[in-house]
Amino acid sequence: MAVKKLFPKIYNFNPTVVLLDIKRPRLTGDELVKMIKAWKPEIQVIMVSANLSPEIKEECMQNGAFACISKPLNFEHLKQTIQEALNQSDRKSVV
């Protein structure tokens, strides 16, 4: 999803959790997580990456990510992480 489409969707849908790939064209996921958290700090952002180094994970977490998950995704782990993020809030929507 293009960045210019992401923020209107977040505004209109008002999700509790956003899944975001770290590697993105133009604007990286760690830059986006900072923007999302600055705009709506209550949103939990789960980052995913095929090349998740400890340094990248630490940077994303410092920028406000709830969690970072390596690809290929283990869907049970992803489900558990989403549930943990949802438990941080009374709202229950994911985008």
Query: Predicted confidence band at 71 (pLDDT cuts at 50, 70, 90)?
Result: very high
Q: Does 1 or 31 have the greater pLDDT score?
A: 31
**Residue at 39: amino acid letter:** W
Q: Do residues 61 and 34 lie in contact, with contact meaning Cβ atoms separated by under 8 Å?
A: no
Instruction: Compute the average pLDDT of residues 53-58.
Output: 87
Residue 18: strand pairing partners: 45
Q: Give the C-alpha separation, 18 to 47, whole Å.
A: 8
pLDDT beyond 60 at 95: no
pLDDT at 64: 93
In the chain, the amino acid numbered 53 is: S
pLDDT reported for residue 9: 80
Q: How far apart are CA 42 and CA 51, in angstroms?
A: 27
How far apart, in whole angstroms, are the C-alpha atoms of residue 73 and residue 50?
A: 9
What pLDDT is recorded for position 84?
A: 93
Is the pLDDT score of 28 beyond 80? no
Instruction: Work out the percent of the chain whose per-residue pLDDT is above 90.
Output: 35
Give the pLDDT mean for 55-82. 93
